[in-house]
Structure 1
């Protein structure tokens, strides 16, 4: 790792159960915004945003040690705190789909369906650090080669993920992927945001979603293929409204608009705006660790501790011809770019 010139930005985070070293990397832009990521799951562990009053708030949920991240995947509902999700974010109905006239059978890890890549998706593997850039707009690029038939997905999938901190206080998340044979891919970032810090809940924070329809789903939250108009419904966030206690919905985005959603915390006048080139944003309030694992600084994460803005393709896209295609063909490039922009206002 010496070629990275990492004396001030890399430190040993922890060891895996089999003794593999996991490192933490910190980026800081000129305005004092700081990002920390570990190469286990390419997981964002901390995102500290400076406020106009001189204070700093950590806006993402996370854990202080690797054991907690590993153990969290054994909870009755794994929270995927800050993790990179793949090969396929969201659910795939009955854990199967047809690709090139061949039925692909995946692991069933969620009520008979496949969720977030299966039993051991990208959130639970060790990524390699490929590049680290300091100075203006600092960034880190991590890579992972998912071998053919990992979790029964076809093709060797080569993924590069770059986190960048812009000088405009933007967290830029960018994925590039290629495959050795036709496959399906749908990657997303799974941070739970809380603009008031991770010891409070998000219920007083106001959300806007730039969408007029969501995916209709079954009771198991699998898309049926139909769409629901959200106008004047409890899921209409075209105007600012407080975050709901429960939401687990995929909002369809107009591809002509890059703005997907925003979150505003009136307590400290901090705003986050989400932009993406993806066709959907899945919004989920949660973070519950069921009082069995402590969060950062001994915090107790409950069902309303954070909110996810998972920019992505539609869940179950391989099983619906009228959904945007999730097929990545050999020779093509998957490109996903999302931006989380933070703005602090004076009171």
Structure 2
């Protein structure tokens, strides 16, 4: 199916309505909001890593409030068990049968707050559901439903008593980004309305779960020229042989790149992906997938610098492949 200009216009209009709604709660962070919505409509999961008090939880709640579906919040702690996330089977003496009681993972949007504070066993339970969209309890599989998105947050400071997410598991997040502190004007706007404890309570849903599914299906049909596919492949190859990288971009990472680029392109009203889409999405798609060497870290080189170097070394296509 080829995406028509009318379909792209409808997608863009709906996308902008969602951005405007979330922006009422998360002030001055339009670009991050667009990234988060792109992640949702690409049927992926989002990892937010930032300092305390920058609005990570607020963003997740705002996204939940924008979609007319169910949402839940799981506060990850060291004593959290996998069954606290997925659910548990309990014997009912009246019916004399075992009944499955769903956990908080059964929701349209799940906020996993401070995911790095839970044990690796509990983290694995969550990451398994993220990958398969199913829960297996006592040999029985349970679908979590569609759409389904996990927004996980973690704090880069206060690492005592935390469990770092394994690098191989980080790849299961479609994007990783951060909010950062708001600019001066946005801060003043927040302070002016200090009496409002939670801005998300005033938000009304603007789309249904079915609309999210329709938009995701439409984004899948956006055209990607072979020249773009070649560009992404060359970026992956360069990342694997870069002198400062010990783990480069995987095939799953390349697929994530293309999925995000399609959604971003149609969100801008286009029916095709352009090289600038790849460049713009490189940081959120790649910065949790590339691992720099110890020598590079010692020299003060971080992942963002490496990504910038890779994009500078791999020339983007200038014309389409016939």
* TM range, smaller chain: under 0.3
TM-score normalized by the length of structure 2: 0.25
**Higher helix content, 1 or 2:** 2
| CA radius of gyration, larger in | 2
